[in-house]
């Protein structure tokens, strides 16, 4: 079955710097890769997603890149702000079940 690995598990950056979180997946049938942000005490919230026929997608300060050949995808956050501090999860969708990575705790220091 699908296995999604996520790195790093924790990431600390200074406000204004960029943050990059990387995920690899094992099942080449995966064709949808979302990223979720989870704030303390809340449920995960979808922030951006990408499908396998696209190499990159941007939404303001957030971007996701996908390399199907290498089976990895990354989340890029530019000009980080304290409110970006949260846990971020990547996921892959090989069939009809989302398989999540183990999460990255991002801390943005003012």
Partner 1 sequence: NAGVTQTPKFQVLKTGQSMTLQCAQDMNHEYMSWYRQDPGMGLRLIHYSVGAGITDQGEVPNGYNVSRSTTEDFPLRLLSAAPSQTSVYFCATSPGLAGVEQYFGPGTRLTVT
Residues that bind partner 1 (CB under 8 A): 6, 9, 32, 34, 36, 42-46, 49, 89, 93, 95-103
Cβ nearer to partner 1, comparing 15 with 39: 39
CB of 103 to partner 1, least distance (A): 5
CB of 17 to partner 1, least distance (A): 25
Could you tell me how far CA 24 lies from the centroid of its own chain?
Answer: 10
Spatial CA neighbour of 35 closest among 83, 79, 101, 108 = 101
Hey, how many other C-beta atoms are within 10 angstroms of the C-beta on 45? 11
Cβ nearer to partner 1, comparing 30 with 85: 30
CB of 34 to partner 1, least distance (A): 7
CB of 21 to partner 1, least distance (A): 13
Burial of 92 (0-12, 13-18, 19+ CB in 10 A): buried
Cβ nearer to partner 1, comparing 23 with 77: 23
Instruction: Tell me the C-alpha distance between 80 and 82, whole Å.
Output: 7
Cβ nearer to partner 1, comparing 34 with 108: 34
The region, left, alpha or beta by phi > 0 then psi within -120 to 50, assigned to residue 102 is alpha
């Amino acid at each position: 079955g699908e296995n999604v690995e996520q790195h790093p598990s924790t990431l600390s950056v200074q406000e204004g710097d960029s943050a990059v979180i990387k995920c690899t997946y094992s099942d080449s049938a995966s064709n949808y890769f979302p990223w979720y942000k989870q704030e303390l005490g809340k449920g995960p919230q979808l922030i951006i997603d990408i499908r396998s026929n696209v190499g990159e997608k941007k939404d303001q300060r957030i971007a996701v890149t996908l390399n199907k050949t290498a089976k990895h995808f990354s989340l890029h956050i530019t000009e980080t702000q304290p409110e970006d501090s949260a846990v971020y999860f990547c996921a892959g969708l090989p069939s009809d079940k989302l398989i999540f990575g183990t999460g990255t705790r991002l801390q943005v220091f003012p």
